[in-house]
Amino acid sequence: MTILFLDFDGVLHPETDDNPAFFTRNTLLHEILRRDNSIMVVFTTTWRSSRTVAKLASLVCHGGGEDLLSRFVGSTPDLDKIPDPGARGEECMAWMKKIGWSTLDWIALDDNPDWFSTRARVVGIDPQKGLVVDDIERVLLLAEKSRAGLV
C-alpha cells in the first residue's frame, strides 16, 4: 500500500483569480486511483481544518468517483508551521507516526514541493493549471518507485 498525501488548491483545481471553480481536476485523481489499487489517500490540504475526512472525501469523489470513497483514510495534523520549508512533510510524518505506519511507502501531490524536506517523493503540480493528464503517469511512476524502495 502506498499513501498519497493530497493537497487541494492548485492541485484538484487551478489556483487562479479568473477561475474560481473548485474540484475541476477530480476525474484525473479518480483515474490515478483506479489505475493503482494500492494507493490510499490522506488529506494535507488546509481544507482539513474545517471539514471531516468523510466530507473531504465526498468533495473529491463527487461526480463519478463515489466508488473510491473507501480509499480516503485520514488527514494530517495541523502543526501550524506552514509556510516553513518542510512543514507539510513534518505533518505527513506525524500522521504516519500516529497510526504506526512503519514503511516509507508514501508520495505527495502538492503545488508547493518546498513544504516537503523529501522533495523526491513529491509530484509538484503547476498551481496555475492544477493536475493535468501528463501528471497521471508521473504519480503512478513515483508510487511504483516508492513501493520498490527507489525514492
Return the domain boundaries, the chain.
2-147
53-109: per-residue pLDDT in tens?
Answer: 999 999 999 989 999 999 999 999 988 765 676 788 899 999 999 988 766 799 999
List the beta bridge partners of residue 130. none
Question: What confidence tens digit (pLDDT) does each residue in 9-28 have?
Answer: 999 999 876 767 899 999 99
The listed CATH number (3.40.50.1000, 3.40.50.300, 1.10.1370.30, 3.50.50.60) that belongs to domain 2-147: 3.40.50.1000
Q: Is the pTM of this model over 0.85?
A: yes
DSSP 13-42: B--BTTB----TTHHHHHHHHHH-TTEEEE
The set of residues, in sequence order, having a beta carbon less than 8 Å from that of 70 and lying 6+ positions away, is: none
* Averaged confidence pLDDT in the chain: 91
